[in-house]
Amino acid sequence: MECRENLYLLIREDGLYYLLPVSCAEKVSQDASEDGLKVVDLSERAGDRKTDCSKKGRYCITICSQSGRLALLTEEITGIIECEEDNIFSPQMSGYSRRSRCFSRVARLEEQENQWGYILNPEGLIDGENSENDSGEMPEEFSDAGNHELAYAQAPQSCIVLTSGKRQFYVSEKILASVVLKPRIQRIPGAPEWIAGLSDYEGRPVVYYDPAGIKRESPAEEYLYGVVIHETDGSLSGIAGELLGEGGGGGEDLRPVRDGIWERNCDQADGI
């Protein structure tokens, strides 16, 4: 089959899309799997949704890779698609999701209203181990502990100010990529509650933080604003919340979170 390395089975599970390389799919059947073959349910392994899915009526994909063979159960297979490398990205998923070994890359699905599809890693599905960095704990810089060993602690004169729950952040315009009104954010399977999800900014993936850690059940929760930030490695990240406007200046009530981001002292922000 021509360009087989660019062909993927497009799978839909629990409202999200996954891509499985055609090169590792031996066969597709309804329900049944080979005797003695390890069976993995995608809703549990990749999504970590703890759904009570019956194995009856689910598709069974026999997968073969260097780590062995298994039967992958899934809700729906919508077809085979070709995905060019220009539409495939590798955002830093480790630490964002407790299932990041199952998928480390994402693909922009233009025919699915620009949703993101998670490219399944057959090795991760078979061995079932999580990344050693997938603790599910909020990074120290966004935790209440903060980070006080930064290059500078004084906020510049020009900042974007937003809130996440009762937490108020100042983002320097030097690292600001954009402010997005009502960003479309989709759930990252297995992500902890302080990760809002994955979104698109000018064709590139943005992983949004929700520092307030508000648990969200909806596959696509609506936030009022998203502040998109340039990372030092060239990637993009974001903070989801409510925009307050522009601010600046220093003050003892501001603590450095990371270079270019500060948080107002919690005692000062209680009324927000």
**pLDDT single digits (tens) 166-190:** 889 999 999 999 999 999 998 888 7
The verdict on residue 103 lying in a domain is yes
Strands 39-41 and 68-74: parallel
| Domain final position from 127, 162, 195 | 127
Residue in 37, 124, 155, 19 with CA at minimum distance from that of residue 77: 19
Taken in order 152, 205, 166, 269, the sign of the CA dihedral is positive
Q: In what helix (H) or strand (E) does residue 221 lie, and over which residues does it extend?
A: none
Q: What is the pLDDT of residues 113-128, one digit of tens each?
A: 768 999 998 888 877 5
On whether the CB atoms of residues 73 and 104 are closer than 8 A, the answer is no
| Domain final position from 103, 127, 151 | 127
Say what the pLDDT of residue 1 is: 38
d(CA 256, CA 111): 42
Q: 75 and 146: one domain?
A: no
Residue 241 burial (10 A CB sphere; 0-12, 13-18, 19+): buried
Say what the pLDDT of residue 130 is: 47
Q: 149 and 252: one domain?
A: yes
> For residue 268, what are its two tokens?
């000062």
Which residue in the block uniquely carries the two structure tokens 């004084």? Answer: 154
Q: 38 and 99: one domain?
A: yes
User: Is the entire prediction scored with pTM above 0.85?
Assistant: no
> For residue 191, what are its two tokens?
């992500």
Taken in order 5, 73, 94, 176, the sign of the CA dihedral is positive
- Domain containing 67: what range? 4-127
| Domain final position from 104, 127, 150 | 127
Q: 172 and 92: one domain?
A: no
The verdict on residue 132 lying in a domain is no
